[in-house]
Chains A and B, each alone.
Chain A
Amino acid sequence: MKKEINFLTGQRADLEKKAKISRIAKVASFITLIAYFLIVGTVFSYWFFLNNQVENISSQITLKKNKIEDLKDIELLQVLLKQRLSSLNNFFKNDRNPDFVSLISYFENVPQGVKIKGFIAANTGELTVSGESSNVVVLGEFLDKFKKDETNSLFSNVTLSILDRQTGGSYMFVISLEAKDSV
């Protein structure tokens, strides 16, 4: 019996496989290319959209700037007002000074026999009072009053700096105090 061997069948299968792969490669390439163009198109569109937005906002900015420029006088007034009020607020909040008026009133009401001849009060808190008392008892009373009032809101740290007996029997005195800031 005669047997036939077909050598072409294997070659054909190989060719068919190659053709199939080639077809797939072509289609895949085409799809990839289309996808790529789509991506590029999207990127360009987005870039175009962004540019449009930037231009649009830039024109709005120019418009607003022009309007603000027209209101420059008002802006200047507001800046000036803010500068001054902020400085004044800071000044009123932080500026401390002794209560000069209350200090004067305090030294007006001294015991009989004591005469205040002068006093110097500075905003640093230094306060010096000089005066004369007719005798040592009155002076003692006066100093006691100081001691008692030391805890008040006007002054603290009372120090008798000078005490000098005069020829007539009276006493000259100088008292240093620390004036408290008025709130």
Chain B
Amino acid sequence: MFKINLKENKIFLIPVAVLFLILIASFIILRPKISDIFKARRELASNRKQLTALTEKLSTLEGLAEVELDEKVNNVLRVLPAEKDVAKNLFVLKRLTLDAGLVFGGMSLGEVGEISTGSAKPKLIRGAILPSLSFDILVIGTQDKVKDFLVSLESVAPLMKVTQLSTTQKKGNVPESTILIESFYLPLPKTIGKSETPINPINREEEKVLAKISEFKTFKDEEEFYFATGFKGNPFDF
């Protein structure tokens, strides 16, 4: 039978004990600590990344002037409102026809849906980029006046687009044009994201868009329009 002679191997007792101690200590203390180190390194790397993102975001935010930003936002909201503003659109269209010297023959609205865009889900027409409201207006006047109307419609707030134009002229009569117009809106973003979500800067193309829409004409408030034109009837009664 195999027997260890302790007396003979006494000299190896200390090294064996030391090795045993090292092994036990490594298993109980060192191994968990090394695992903690890896965990801490991962956390540190992630935190550093987050800190960099936050620092960049903070410096971007500190570089933005609130007053200027507010002005720009008001400008874009003027052109692309957050809500379906039926009344505003009606007034603008009527005003444009009057300015072009056309006679406003009437109008009809497409499916308006929910007015409050806070709760309403905007319906996007297939292939459309922005949600819109449809208006069908009838104007009476010469082609030149219709052209003036179409030109002015391209640079007016809120953003509108002609989707169909039909003109008829009966013998001796002034031409009548039916114009199908879409007026665009865009609900406000629901969230601004996490605090480390980077701030997307406005790129050059968007700056150009901003400059372009800054020139879009805005009609004054409805009240002023009433005073200016003496219009005191029901705004929906065209």
With A60-B51, A91-B130, A97-B163 known, 13 other A-B pairs at CB within 8 A are: A18-B11, A29-B15, A29-B18, A32-B19, A44-B33, A47-B40, A68-B58, A71-B61, A79-B192, A84-B77, A88-B209, A97-B161, A108-B143
The verdict on A47 contacting B36 (CB below 8 Å), with A80-B73, A80-B189 known, is yes
**Complex CA–CA separation, A118 to B77 (angstroms):** 37
A57-80 Cβ-contact flags toward B at 8 Å (1 or 0): 110110011011101111111111
Partner-B contacts on A (CB < 8 A): 18, 21-22, 25-26, 28-29, 32-33, 36, 39-40, 43-44, 46-47, 50-51, 53-54, 57-58, 60-61, 64-65, 67-69, 71-95, 97, 100-101, 104-105, 108, 116-123
The verdict on A100 contacting B165 (CB below 8 Å), with A82-B200, A87-B129 known, is yes
**Complex CA–CA separation, A63 to B169 (angstroms):** 71
The verdict on A61 contacting B47 (CB below 8 Å), with A22-B11, A26-B14, A43-B30 known, is yes
**Complex CA–CA separation, A84 to B143 (angstroms):** 34
Give chain A residues whose Cβ lies under 8 Å from the Cβ of B6: none
**Complex CA–CA separation, A82 to B207 (angstroms):** 10
B162 touches A29 (CB 8 A): no
Partner-A contacts on B (CB < 8 A): 10-12, 14-15, 17-19, 21-22, 25, 29-30, 33-34, 36-37, 40-41, 43-44, 47-48, 50-51, 54-55, 57-58, 61-62, 64, 66, 69-70, 72-73, 76-77, 79-80, 129-130, 143, 146-147, 150-151, 159, 161-170, 184, 186, 188-189, 192-193, 195, 199-200, 202, 205-206, 209-210, 212-213
B206 touches A85 (CB 8 A): yes
Give chain A residues whose Cβ lies under 8 Å from the Cβ of B22: 32-33, 36
Give chain A residues whose Cβ lies under 8 Å from the Cβ of B11: 18, 21-22, 25
**Complex CA–CA separation, A157 to B72 (angstroms):** 44
The verdict on A57 contacting B47 (CB below 8 Å), with A21-B11, A33-B21, A100-B165 known, is yes
A137 CB to nearest B CB, Å:
23
**Complex CA–CA separation, A72 to B221 (angstroms):** 30
A81 touches B167 (CB 8 A): no
A101 touches B150 (CB 8 A): yes
B209 CB to nearest A CB, Å:
5
B129 touches A90 (CB 8 A): yes
The verdict on A123 contacting B164 (CB below 8 Å), with A25-B12, A79-B189 known, is yes
The contact of A94 among B34, B66, B129, B163, by CB within 8 Å, is: B129
A168 CB to nearest B CB, Å:
13
The contact of B54 among A68, A81, A120, by CB within 8 Å, is: A68
